[in-house]
């Protein structure tokens, strides 16, 4: 059982946080990245995207003004309108890693979602079958390909991938993994059980019980940059596994046996801190006193245990 401790785990300076999506060509990496970016943005993260390609490319079509800059050997170029600004640097990056590029050019982002970079020491989300030379066991999360998903990723798949990315982000900054729920009320034990696995992996975690607002001031005093709240939810996209829910999505979702309390808890955290906050939920089927976890939340806790241990390995 997690003690009510708010110890902050010191982490290396990995800003911005980079997580890579790997998979065979056509697996749907770009589609998943764009969908995940939307959920992470809704959870308050500033998101960047970086794509690796083995072929040469031009920043603009031949004959366009910016391509003429490139042809002239101009190293730095940009194009600006009243709505956006695009910057290009024309130089060799053979020796630059995804993390180096992110640190130099994406410094204002909280997290960069990279495509490819399978050989680099990054946390990775596997999309579909592993590409040649990549071991599926090294991914922090794996999801089916776009093709095997019938041409579009399900909400559950997107929420799972986004949850994994947000949890990895949180692990890389000052964080609290907060479990909310009652351990003896069936699936309401999902939250504390999830916090247990992150505490066991060496991350900063707290069991906030079923009156989470009572823990708010201790969390705020530890000045976290990210708060991950684990709780049972009743939502269509959470029928299996676990998924992410931004704070502004919670009005239509039943949260365990303490919906009003957790919403008050989140509102107070948002009002009193600058932490990025997301709820990681698993679908609760039964909240009867004395029941254990039902298969769905039990599977979600097992998945989070694997995720926590693989994230720890990525950071070691």
Query: Residue 166 and residue 164: Cα distance in Å, rounded?
Result: 6
Q: What is the pLDDT of residue 20?
A: 96
Instruction: For residue 196, give the nearest of 210, 211, 180, 218 by alpha carbon.
Output: 180
Confirm if 173 and 163 have CB atoms less than 8 A apart: no
pLDDT at 11 over 60: no
Percent of the chain residues topping a pLDDT of 70: 83
Q: How confident is the model at residue 114 (pLDDT cuts 50, 70, 90)?
A: very high
Q: Distance from first CA to last CA of the chain, Å, rounded?
A: 25
190-200 and 295-315 helices, crossing angle to 10° = 20
- The more confidently predicted of residues 256 and 174 is 174
| Tens digits of residue pLDDT in 275-298 | 999 999 998 888 889 899 999 999
pLDDT at 17 over 90: yes
Confirm if 24 and 30 have CB atoms less than 8 A apart: no
Average pLDDT, the chain: 85
Q: Looking at 7-16, 66-75, 271-280, which range is the least confident one?
A: 7-16
Q: How confident is the model at residue 91 (pLDDT cuts 50, 70, 90)?
A: low
Q: What mean pLDDT is predicted for residues 250-271?
A: 72
Question: Nearest 5°: phi and psi at 270?
Answer: -65, -35
Taking CA atoms, 144 is separated from 15, 87, 154, 157, in Å, by 29, 34, 10, 8
- The more confidently predicted of residues 159 and 91 is 159
223: buried, middle or exposed (CB in 10 Å: 19+, 13-18, 0-12)? exposed
Sheet holding 17-22, edge to edge: 47-51, 111-115, 17-22, 123-127, 141-143
DSSP 8-state class, residue 15: P
Question: Nearest 5°: phi and psi at 230?
Answer: -95, 130
52: buried, middle or exposed (CB in 10 Å: 19+, 13-18, 0-12)? middle
- The more confidently predicted of residues 105 and 204 is 204
pLDDT at 7 over 80: no
The 10 Å Cβ neighbour count of residue 272 is 13
DSSP structure string for 54-121? SS---SS-TTSHHHHHHHTT-SEEEEE-SS-EEEEE-S--TT--HHHHHHHH-TT-SEEEEE--TTSS
Q: Looking at 16-25, 64-73, 169-178, 251-260, which range is the least confident one?
A: 251-260
* 173 prior amide bond cis, ω within 30: no
Which domains, ranges and CATH numbers included, belong to the chain? 173-315 (3.40.50.1450)
DSSP 8-state class, residue 24: S
User: ∠312-315-316 over CA atoms, to 5°?
Assistant: 85
pLDDT at 47 over 50: yes
Query: Residue 4 and residue 2: Cα distance in Å, rounded?
Result: 6
Instruction: For residue 120, give the nearest of 147, 143, 138, 146 by alpha carbon.
Output: 138
Q: What mean pLDDT is predicted for residues 198-215?
A: 93
Q: What mean pLDDT is predicted for residues 215-228?
A: 94
pLDDT at 8 over 80: no
Query: Residue 269 and residue 261: Cα distance in Å, rounded?
Result: 12
Query: Residue 87 and residue 71: Cα distance in Å, rounded?
Result: 16
Written as six digits, the tokens of 279 are 């709820």
User: ∠90-96-98 over CA atoms, to 5°?
Assistant: 105
Strand partners, 165: none
Token look-up 């596994």 returns 241
């Amino acid at each position: 059982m997690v003690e009510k401790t708010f110890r902050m785990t010191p982490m290396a300076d990995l800003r911005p946080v980079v997580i890579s999506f790997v998979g065979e060509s056509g697996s749907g990496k770009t589609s998943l990245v764009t969908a995940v970016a939307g959920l992470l943005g809704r959870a308050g993260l500033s998101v960047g995207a970086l794509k690796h390609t083995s072929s040469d490319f031009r920043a603009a079509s031949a004959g366009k003004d910016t391509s003429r800059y490139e042809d002239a050997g101009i190293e730095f170029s940009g194009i600006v309108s009243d709505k956006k600004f695009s910057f290009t640097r024309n130089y060799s990056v053979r020796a630059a890693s995804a993390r180096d590029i992110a640190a130099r050019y994406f410094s204002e982002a909280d997290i960069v979602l990279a495509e490819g970079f399978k050989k680099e020491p990054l946390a990775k989300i596997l999309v579909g079958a592993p590409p040649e030379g990549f071991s599926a066991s090294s991914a922090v999360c794996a999801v089916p390909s776009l093709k095997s998903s019938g041409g579009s990723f399900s909400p559950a798949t997107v929420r799972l991938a986004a949850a994994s990315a947000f949890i990895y982000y949180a692990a890389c900054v000052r964080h609290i993994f907060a479990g909310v729920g009652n351990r003896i009320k069936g699936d309401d034990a999902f939250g504390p059980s999830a916090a247990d696995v992150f505490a066991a992996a060496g991350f900063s975690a707290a069991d906030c019980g079923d009156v989470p607002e009572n823990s708010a001031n201790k969390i705020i005093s530890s000045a976290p940059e990210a708060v991950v709240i684990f709780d049972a939810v009743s939502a269509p996209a959470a029928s299996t596994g676990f998924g992410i829910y931004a704070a502004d999505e919670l009005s239509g979702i039943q949260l365990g046996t303490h919906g009003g309390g957790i919403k008050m808890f989140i509102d107070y955290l948002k009002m009193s801190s600058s932490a990025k906050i997301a709820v990681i939920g698993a679908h609760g089927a039964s909240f009867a006193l004395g029941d254990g976890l039902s298969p769905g939340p039990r599977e979600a806790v097992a998945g989070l245990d694997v995720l926590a241990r693989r994230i720890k390995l990525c950071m070691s």
